[in-house]
Amino acid sequence: MAQLQYVDIAGNMVRVFFNGRTDVSQIIQSKNFSLWVKKIEKKFQLREIHITSIDVWGGRMGFIKLNVDIIDRKGNTYNRVAFLRGNSVACLTVLSCEGRDYGVFVRQPRIAMGVCRYLEMPAGMMDEDSDPAYVMAKEISEELKYEVVTISLTDVTVLDLGPGAQGYALSPGLLDEHIYIFVYYKKVTREELNSFIGRQTGAEDENEDIVTDVIALDDVEKMKEVKKVAATRVALSLYREYKNQIKVDLGGD
């Protein structure tokens, strides 16, 4: 039997249905659902929401799929699907060696892309955390086996969009997700640079299988497997545009 609860969305009491064992209140109170509700503009008139599926990891609410009935200006009802997964972070990690800039990337299985060693930047989901820099530093530690402090990360999202920016929308026709993009920059020796090649990394408890790769940035921008990854291309463009404002990490590993 479907559970029913009313939620105040943009000043309207909207019916929310869920036909599952998880308490619908738990879903409504989850971070991803709550943040999505806050984004809804008052111009939208929602009729009802059907939560069609959820993913729960370790007791934490993950992905939420919705079917949303919306009433248009003429009083007609139409339906749209929304997939709530929350915001994410990614970092262009730049190591400068002997006058040339190199990027440290990761290769890992991406079943959605059908690729066993997909080339991308270190990245991760925000989950229940609210500090993008903290999450990014944690992801760099897990995926590159390298420790950085948050103050050494440059939030190029803020440089580009201004203070309070929510990040860049990835697929607004379906996803609620915005991505925050960072740049980490440090000058290293050739020995330090080479140490990043082929590191076996990833969080074991999350079944991650990651191998690191070091590629000169000039070469990266010519690679087809990079050109088709929107987040990486945006990060490279922002790095070029705001290079003079990028922080330089003067500390050690």
- Enumerate the domain spans of the chain: 3-84, 88-245
Q: What is the pLDDT of residue 252?
A: 54
Read off the pLDDT of each residue in 34-54 and give the average, rounded to a whole number. Answer: 93
Q: What is the dihedral of CA 30, 33, 35, 37, to 10 degrees?
A: -130
Tokens of 112: 């959605």
pLDDT tens digit sequence for 206-240: 777 899 999 999 999 899 888 889 999 999 999 99
Please tell me the class of the 88-245 domain: alpha beta
pLDDT tens digit sequence for 69-123: 999 888 889 999 999 999 999 999 999 999 999 999 999 999 998 999 999 999 9
What are the φ and ψ backbone dihedral angles of 217, each rounded to 5 degrees?
-60, -35
Q: What is the pTM of this model?
A: 0.92
pLDDT tens digit sequence for 131-178: 999 999 999 999 999 999 999 999 999 999 999 888 999 999 999 999
Read off the pLDDT of each residue in 35-54 and give the average, rounded to a whole number. Answer: 93
> Taking 80 as the threshold, does the pLDDT of residue 205 lie above it?
no
The percent of residues above 70 in pLDDT, for the chain, comes to: 99
CA distance 140 to 158: 20
Listed residue (235, 186, 198) closest to 107, CA to CA: 198
CA distance 16 to 18: 7
How far CA 70 is from CA of 3, 51, 75, in Å, comes to 20, 15, 9
